[in-house]
C-alpha cells in the first residue's frame, strides 16, 4: 500500500510540475504579446508591411460573408469600389480566425489583437509540447518555447510586418505539424493489424486519429500561408523519412512483429515498421490537400488570369534579399528598425542559444539521433537558403521564386534554432542555466521594441474610408503591386468616381440614351434597372472577372460592354 501511495504521489507531483511549466510557457507567450495591448488602438507598422491592411481584409471578408459569399474570394469594395479577387489567391485562414472574434462582438481592432495573441499562444504551446516529447525535460521544453516565441522573425511578423498575420499564423502551425507527424511513428506496429504473411491492404486498420490530426494541422498551414507551406513541406518530408529510417533500424521494430512463418524466412518484417506509418502519413497529407483544395486549386488554376508578374520582379526578385555576413545582428537588444532589411535577420542571443544547444545535442550519445539530425539539418539548410549560396536553387526550382524573399526561411531557421535549444538540457547545471537564458531571450526580444498605435474605432472602418486609404497608399486591395488585377486591366486604376465625386453606383453610358438605377448590390451580385430610350452601350462600375455573366430580362449577354436595346 505504501509502495502504491509513493508511486501515486510521484505521479501527482510530476503532473503538477508539468502543468506549472505549461502555464509558464503560455504566460510568457502572452508577455511577448503585451506590447500589442500596451496602448489603445491598432499597432502601426511601416516596415515592409502595413497593419491597417488587416482592417480592410477583415472588413471585406466580413462584408462578403454577410452577403452569403462563402468561401470568400472577392473583395466587393476594394480597388476603389470596382472589386478585387484578393481571396482567390491569398490564403485566408488567419482572417477567418480573426472574423470569429468579430462574431463574438469584439471591435475590428480588438479582433485583430486577439487573433495575434492567440497565434502567440498556439505557437508556444505547440513548441512546448514538441520539445517535451523529444527531450523529456520540462525546463528544456520551456526554454525551447520561449526561444521560438521570442525569435526575432516571429516578433517581426507582428511588430514590423504588421500585415503578415498569415505568415505569423503559419509559424504557429509549424510545431504542431511536426508533432502530428511524430505521432504517426509512436503507434505500436501491431495496431496496424496487417497479417504477417499477407502484404495487402485488406485487414489494414488505419490510425484514424493520428491521420486526422496530421491532416488538419497541415491543411491549416496551407490555408494560413501557402508560401510558408511551400517552403516548410520539404522539411516535413525530411522528418518523415528520418523517422522511417529510425523505425527500420530500431530493434523494437523486430521485437513487436510476430515471428516469420515457417517456409518464408525472407518475409519483409523489418520493412513494416517504417512503411506502414509512411503510408498512413501519405494518406494524411493527401487528406490535408483535399481539405485545402477549395483554396489552392483555383489559385493555381487561375494564376494566369491575374497580373502576377510584379510579384517576382524588381524589388520583389529574390536576388535583392539574400543575407551574407550580415545574417546576424550582433547586439544584445534586437533592433526592429526595418531600414535596409535590418530587422530581417537573426538575433545575437537567438544565435548564441542555438549554438549552445547544438553543443549539448552533439555531446549526447543516447537515443534521439533522428531528431538531432532533423534539427541540425533543418538549421543548416534554412540558413543556406537565406544566403547567396542557394542562388542556383532559387533560379531553377519551380515556384520557389514566388517566395520572393530568401529571408522568409528565417521562420524555419527560428523553428530549428528553438528546437536546438533542447540541447541545453545536456549541459551541466542546466536548471540554473535555463532561467538565465529565458531572461536573456526576453530582454533581447522585448528590450529594444518600440511600438506606435493608431487610435481607431469601428466608425473609422467603413468601405468608404478604406477606399480612401487605398488611394492614400496606392495599394489596391492591400496588395502593393496590384498583382491580382485581371490581365485585361491596363493600365491599373488609381481612382474612381466614388472617390472623386462620391458616385459609387454610376453606370457610364458610352453612346445612346439610357438611365440606370441600382436595385441591389451584394458582393457577387448586382441588379440594375435600365430605362433605354435609344440603343446604348453601358459600362457597369464593376471589375470584370472571368466567369461573371450579365443578363437582360433573363437573356444572357456578353459581359464587357453590355449593349442594351430599347
309 domain-assigned: yes
Domain boundary among 425, 446, 467: 446
Whether residues 441 and 545 fall in one domain = no
Q: What is the pTM of this model?
A: 0.89
Whether residues 276 and 402 fall in one domain = yes
Give the angle subtended at the CA of 383 by the CAs of 380 and 384, to the nearest 5°.
85
434 domain-assigned: yes
235 domain-assigned: yes
**Ranges assigned E (strand) in 371-452:** none
Cell 515498421 appears where? Answer: 273
4 domain-assigned: no
372 domain-assigned: yes
Whether residues 545 and 442 fall in one domain = no
81 domain-assigned: no
Whether residues 135 and 203 fall in one domain = yes
C-alpha cell at position 522: 451584394
Q: How much is the pLDDT for 252?
A: 46
- For residue 465, the surrounding DSSP H or E stretch is helix 463-473
Whether residues 530 and 428 fall in one domain = no
Domain boundary among 400, 418, 446: 446
Whether residues 136 and 247 fall in one domain = yes
Whether residues 512 and 405 fall in one domain = no
Distance, in Å, from the CA atom of 95 to the CA atom of 91, rounded to the nearest integer, reads 9
Tens digit of each residue's pLDDT (9 = 90 or more) over 481-520: 899 999 888 888 999 999 988 888 888 888 888 888 899 9
Whether residues 410 and 508 fall in one domain = no
Whether residues 434 and 524 fall in one domain = no
Whether residues 240 and 162 fall in one domain = yes
Distance, in Å, from the CA atom of 267 to the CA atom of 294, rounded to the nearest integer, reads 43
Whether residues 281 and 425 fall in one domain = yes
404 domain-assigned: yes
Domain boundary among 413, 446, 479: 446
For residue 540, the enclosing domain spans 501-564
What lies within 8 Å, CB to CB, of 201 at 6+ separation is none
pLDDT in tens, the chain (566 residues): 445 456 555 555 555 556 888 999 999 999 999 999 988 899 998 765 678 899 999 999 999 999 999 999 999 999 999 999 999 999 999 999 999 999 999 999 999 999 999 999 999 999 999 999 998 888 899 999 999 999 999 999 999 998 899 999 999 999 999 999 998 887 654 444 444 333 344 444 667 888 999 999 999 999 999 999 999 999 999 999 998 888 777 644 444 444 444 444 444 444 566 778 888 899 999 999 999 999 999 999 998 999 988 888 888 999 999 999 999 999 999 999 988 889 999 999 999 999 999 988 888 766 678 889 999 999 999 999 999 999 999 999 988 999 999 999 999 999 999 999 988 877 777 777 888 999 999 999 999 999 989 999 999 999 999 999 999 888 899 998 899 999 888 888 999 999 988 888 888 888 888 888 899 999 988 998 888 888 888 888 888 888 888 888 777 765 444 444 33
279 domain-assigned: yes
C-alpha cell at position 338: 526595418
Tell me the pairing of strands 328-329 and 42-43.
unpaired
Cell 546576424 appears where? Answer: 328
Whether residues 420 and 538 fall in one domain = no
Length of the chain: 566
- Give the number of other Cβ atoms within 10 Å of residue 72's Cβ: 24
Number of folded domains that form the chain? 2
Strand partners, 511: 537
**Exposure string (b/e) for 249-279, b if CB count within 10 Å is 16 or more?**
ebeebeeebeeeeeeeeebebbebbbbbbbe
Q: Are 354 and 423 in contact (CB under 8 A)?
A: no
Amino acid at each position: 500500500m505504501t509502495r502504491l501511495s509513493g508511486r501515486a504521489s510521484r505521479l501527482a507531483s510530476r503532473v503538477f510540475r508539468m502543468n506549472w511549466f505549461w502555464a509558464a510557457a503560455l504566460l510568457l507567450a502572452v508577455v511577448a504579446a503585451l506590447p500589442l495591448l500596451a496602448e489603445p488602438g491598432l499597432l502601426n507598422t511601416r516596415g515592409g508591411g502595413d497593419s491597417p491592411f488587416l482592417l480592410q481584409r477583415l472588413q471585406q471578408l466580413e462584408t462578403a460573408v454577410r452577403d452569403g459569399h462563402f468561401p470568400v474570394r472577392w473583395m466587393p469594395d476594394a480597388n476603389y469600389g470596382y472589386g478585387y479577387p484578393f481571396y482567390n489567391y491569398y490564403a485566408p485562414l488567419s482572417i477567418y480566425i480573426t472574423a470569429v472574434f468579430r462574431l463574438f462582438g469584439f471591435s475590428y481592432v480588438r479582433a485583430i489583437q486577439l487573433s495575434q495573441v492567440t497565434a502567440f499562444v498556439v505557437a508556444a504551446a505547440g513548441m512546448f509540447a514538441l520539445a517535451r516529447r523529444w527531450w523529456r525535460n520540462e525546463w528544456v521544453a520551456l526554454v525551447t518555447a520561449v526561444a521560438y516565441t521570442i525569435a526575432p522573425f516571429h516578433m517581426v511578423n507582428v511588430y514590423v510586418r504588421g500585415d503578415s498575420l498569415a505568415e505569423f499564423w503559419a509559424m504557429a502551425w509549424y510545431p504542431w505539424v511536426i508533432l502530428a507527424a511524430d505521432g504517426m511513428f509512436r503507434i505500436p506496429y501491431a495496431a496496424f493489424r496487417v497479417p504477417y504473411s499477407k502484404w495487402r491492404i485488406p485487414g489494414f486498420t488505419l490510425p484514424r486519429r493520428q491521420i486526422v490530426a496530421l491532416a488538419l494541422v497541415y491543411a491549416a498551414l496551407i490555408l494560413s500561408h501557402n508560401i510558408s507551406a511551400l517552403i516548410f513541406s520539404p522539411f516535413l518530408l525530411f522528418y518523415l523519412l528520418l523517422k522511417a529510417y529510425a523505425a527500420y533500424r530500431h530493434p523494437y521494430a523486430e521485437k513487436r512483429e510476430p515471428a516469420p512463418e515457417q517456409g518464408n524466412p525472407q518475409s519483409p518484417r523489418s520493412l513494416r515498421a517504417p512503411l506502414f506509418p509512411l503510408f498512413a502519413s501519405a494518406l494524411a497529407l493527401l487528406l490535408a490537400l483535399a481539405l485545402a483544395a477549395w483554396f489552392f486549386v483555383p489559385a493555381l488554376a487561375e494564376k494566369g488570369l491575374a497580373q502576377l508578374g510584379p510579384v517576382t520582379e524588381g524589388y520583389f526578385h529574390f536576388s535583392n534579399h539574400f543575407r551574407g555576413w550580415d545574417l546576424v545582428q550582433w547586439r544584445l537588444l534586437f533592433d526592429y528598425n526595418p531600414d535596409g532589411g535590418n530587422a530581417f535577420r537573426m538575433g545575437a542571443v537567438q544565435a548564441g542559444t542555438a549554438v549552445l544547444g547544438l553543443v549539448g545535442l552533439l555531446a549526447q550519445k543516447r537515443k534521439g539521433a533522428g531528431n538531432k539530425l532533423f534539427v541540425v539539418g533543418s538549421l543548416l539548410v534554412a540558413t543556406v537558403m537565406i544566403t547567396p549560396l542557394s542562388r542556383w536553387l532559387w533560379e531553377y526550382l519551380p515556384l520557389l521564386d514566388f517566395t520572393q524573399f530568401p529571408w522568409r526561411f528565417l521562420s524555419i531557421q527560428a523553428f530549428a534554432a528553438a528546437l536546438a535549444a533542447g540541447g541545453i538540457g545536456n549541459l551541466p547545471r542546466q536548471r540554473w542555466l535555463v532561467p538565465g537564458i529565458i531572461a536573456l531571450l526576453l530582454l533581447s526580444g522585448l528590450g529594444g521594441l518600440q511600438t506606435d498605435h493608431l487610435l481607431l474605432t469601428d466608425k473609422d472602418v467603413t468601405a468608404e474610408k478604406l477606399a480612401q486609404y487605398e488611394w492614400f497608399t496606392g495599394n489596391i486591395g492591400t496588395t502593393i503591386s496590384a498583382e491580382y488585377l485581371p490581365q485585361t486591366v491596363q493600365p491599373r486604376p488609381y481612382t474612381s468616381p466614388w472617390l472623386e465625386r462620391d458616385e459609387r453606383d454610376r453606370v457610364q453610358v458610352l453612346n445612346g440614351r439610357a438611365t440606370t438605377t441600382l436595385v441591389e448590390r451584394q458582393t457577387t451580385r448586382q441588379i440594375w434597372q435600365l430605362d433605354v430610350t435609344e440603343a446604348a452601350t453601358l459600362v457597369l462600375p464593376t471589375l470584370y472577372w472571368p466567369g461573371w455573366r450579365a443578363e437582360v430580362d433573363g437573356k444572357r449577354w456578353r459581359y464587357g460592354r453590355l449593349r442594351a436595346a430599347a
